[in-house]
Amino acid sequence: MMIAEMVKDREGAEKRCLEAYEKAKQLQEKYNDVITFVDPTEQLKNLPEEGLMRGVPIALKDNVSTKGILTTAGSRILSNYVPVFDAKIVTKLKEAGAVVIAKASMDELAMGGTNKTCFTGASLNPWDTSRMTGGSSGGSAALVASGVVPMAIGSDTGDSVRKPASFCGIVGVKPTYGRISRYGIIPYSSSLDHVGYFTRSIKDACVALKVLAGRDDRDMTSSFREVPDYSALLNSDLHGRKIAVFGNVRDGLTNANTAKLFDDLMESLKAKGAEITVFRFDEALMKAMLPTYYLIANCEATSNHSNLDGIRFGVREPGDSMEEIMTNSRTKGFGPLIRKRFVIGSYGLFEENQERLFRKAQKVRRLIVQQLNECLKDADCLIAPASNDIAPLLNDDSRDQLSDEYLVVENHMVIGNFSGYPSMTVPMGFENGCPLGINLTCRAFDEETMFDIGRAIEEITGYENLTAEVK
């Protein structure tokens, strides 16, 4: 059932939300997608009379602050943190009538692409539990893919909404930087972080963004731009649309099935009236995307999380001095991946390294965005497969992260974070019973075009309201 249909079914709101809550609990042992369950009973007593999401059950990534409800960001060091306020998006969702039933699993502090680093254990893919969901918003993606909720909040710093959407066969939206307030979101990298979300259809994605978007004076990076009625504007007619294929990514595909699915879809888009061209980025810049991301993100994360020390925030470990308490708390509180990233970030922030590493990474970021702007001068959209393959197996560590394939094909979506432009993944096809996604990136604040092209793809594939068969 679509969100709009749920809202019309006013009498079924309580039953629907309670069933979603019970289903999430029943599936927890199998999928491990939830950190904290939120009983919807009190929320149901206080539903607004009207609202675009009235009586719709939803899940929140566990880096979204919820007043009086545990918010861990997937990290042991925050396993005792209960916020005293709601994030702005929580307020907006409640005002629209949405009902929170779960705080979803995530990679620790949103750092990672597997959802294997959460302190409560890995989140499992509902299409195949031997495979990962992708991260860092994997728990939210899995709850939507398994049909527990029609919409869930995630966050996206590199591709943390859009890659799990590909692996889980759903729609994953990262709007324009500033389109949605980040007030109350535990940060990772301030210049790259975006609030994003998951749905099972473009129509639901339009409704969700209308609810979430808008100016917030408590987030000075949020935009004053008017929020359109995306649902009313939705139009899948592609005549006159110019779509640029991301040539470097297409050329880098090694999976023949992914390449065929993508090429066939491009032919179908052309048949619907779109003009298809190919745009190739400078190859050196393509290979620089991952190291540029690591430097900027980890430097900003190191600064943002310096207060997680067991004194100001976090679980406190014993020690004979303030310094020893901090060292023990951070050593035990953070997993190995986080400690590694903080080392990288600290090194990049050393005074003698800032110009040589951090500032240089910022300059490379600007060059990458300039190339994207060059592409979007003549094209409405840049398009490419979201990944070379279906979701990797949980125990598969065979990928060479320095190979040309990985550097180009698996990391290109970070261009949406470097630029801040809207980017979205939608289902494209299947391999061995598991989904593959396609990614679209458009001009700043042009979510309307992104949804239009996404809707056309949905009509071609027939993958609207796709749900994994929960066994």
CATH number of the domain at 56, please: 3.90.1300.10
C-alpha 44: how far from chain center: 28
Active site residue 136: yes
Report the pLDDT value the prediction gives residue 471, as an integer from 0 to 100.
59
Tell me which residue has tokens 């978007």.
213
Among residues 61, 92, 116, 163, which one is catalytic?
Answer: 61
Among residues 136, 166, 181, 223, which one is catalytic?
Answer: 136
Separation of alpha carbons 163 and 180, rounded Å: 20
Tell me which residue has tokens 């061209």.
277
Handedness of CA 438, 443, 445, 448 (dihedral sign): negative
| Contact partners, residue 187, CB within 8 Å, separation at least 6 | 193, 300, 301, 304
Tell me which residue range forms the domain holding 170: 1-471
Report the pLDDT value the prediction gives residue 447, as an integer from 0 to 100.
98
Active site residue 272: no
Q: Enumerate residue ranges in the chain where pLDDT < 70.
A: 400, 402, 471
| Phi, psi dihedrals of residue 222, rounded to the nearest 5° | -75, 150
DSSP 292-319: HHHHHHHHHHHHHTTTBSSSSBSPPPP-
Among residues 65, 137, 160, 189, which one is catalytic?
Answer: 160
CA atoms within 13 A on the CB side of 432: 10
Question: pTM here?
Answer: 0.98
Angle, alpha carbons 356-357-361 (nearest 5°): 120
Separation of alpha carbons 133 and 130, rounded Å: 10
Tell me if 399 sits within 8 A of 388, measured CB to CB.
no
The SS3 of residue 94 is helix
Report the pLDDT value the prediction gives residue 404, as an integer from 0 to 100.
75
Tell me if 318 sits within 8 A of 328, measured CB to CB.
yes
Report the pLDDT value the prediction gives residue 469, as an integer from 0 to 100.
82
Domain tally for the chain? 1
Active site residue 306: no
Closest CA to 194 of 209, 207, 204, 202: 209
Tell me which residue has tokens 């990944």.
387
Residue 232: count other Cβ atoms within 10 Å of its Cβ. Answer: 9
